[in-house]
Amino acid sequence: MTRLTVDDVYQYIHGVCFKNGPPGVVGAETEWFVTSPADPAAPVPAARVRDLMTAADPPPNGSRLTYEPGGQLELSSAPFPGLAPLHAALTADIAHVRDALAPAGLDLAGYGVDPFRPPRFQAEHPRYLAMRDYYRAGGYTDSGTDMMCSTASVQVCVDIGADAADAARRWRLAHALGPVLVAAFANSPVRAGSRTGLRSTRQAIWTDLDPCRTLPVHRSPGANPADEWARYALDARMMVIRTPGGDWRADPGLTFGEWLAKGEPGHDDLVYHLSTLFPPVRPRGWLELRMIDALPGPYWPVPVAVAAALLDDPRAASAAEAATEPVAGRWTAAARDGLTDPALAVAARGCFAAALEALPRLGAAELVPLVAEYADRYVDRGRCPADDVLLEGRTA
pLDDT band, very low/low/confident/very high, at 221 (cuts 50, 70, 90): confident
Domain assignment present for 46: no
Q: How many CA atoms lie within 13 A of 377 on its CB side?
A: 15
Looking at the domain assignment, is residue 322 inside a domain?
yes
Q: What is the pTM of this model?
A: 0.95
pLDDT digits (tens, 9 = 90+) for 73-89: 999 999 999 999 999 99
pLDDT given for residue 396 in this prediction: 37
**Does some domain include residue 156?**
yes
> Is 52 within the bounds of a domain?
no
Is 261 a domain residue?
A: yes
Residue 95 confidence (pLDDT): 97
pLDDT band for 395, please (50, 70, 90 cuts).
very low
What's the domain count of the chain? 1
Q: Is 34 domain-assigned?
A: no
Tally of CB atoms within 10 A around 326: 12
Question: What does each C-alpha distance from 183 to 30, 197, 222, 337 come to in angstroms?
Answer: 18, 14, 26, 7
Q: What is the pLDDT of residues 119-133, one digit of tens each?
A: 999 987 888 888 888
Q: What is the CATH number of the domain that holds 294?
A: 3.30.590.20
Tell me which residue range forms the domain holding 224.
6-26+123-386
The pLDDT assigned to 244 comes to 75
Cα dihedral across residues 115, 119, 123, 128: positive or negative: positive
What is the pLDDT at residue 1? 54
Looking at 31-45, 249-263, 323-337, which range is the least confident one?
249-263
Residue 53 lies in a domain: no
> In which band, very low, low, confident or very high, does the pLDDT at 328 lie, cut at 50, 70 and 90?
very high
Q: What is the mean pLDDT of residues 314-328?
A: 97
Q: Is residue 79 part of a domain?
A: no
Task: Average the pLDDT over 371-376 and give the result.
Answer: 98
Phi-psi region of 139 (alpha: psi -120 to 50; beta: other; left: phi over 0): left
pLDDT reading at 55 higher than 60:
yes
Find the mean pLDDT for residues 344-350. 98
What's the pLDDT tens digit per position in 171-215? 999 999 999 999 999 999 999 999 999 999 999 999 988 989 999
Q: For the chain, percent helix, then strand, then coil, each to nearest 5?
A: 55, 15, 35
List, for residues 244-259, the tens digit of each pLDDT value: 777 777 877 899 999 9
Query: How confident is the prediction for the chain on average, in pLDDT?
Result: 94
Residue 333 confidence class, pLDDT cut points 50, 70, 90: very high
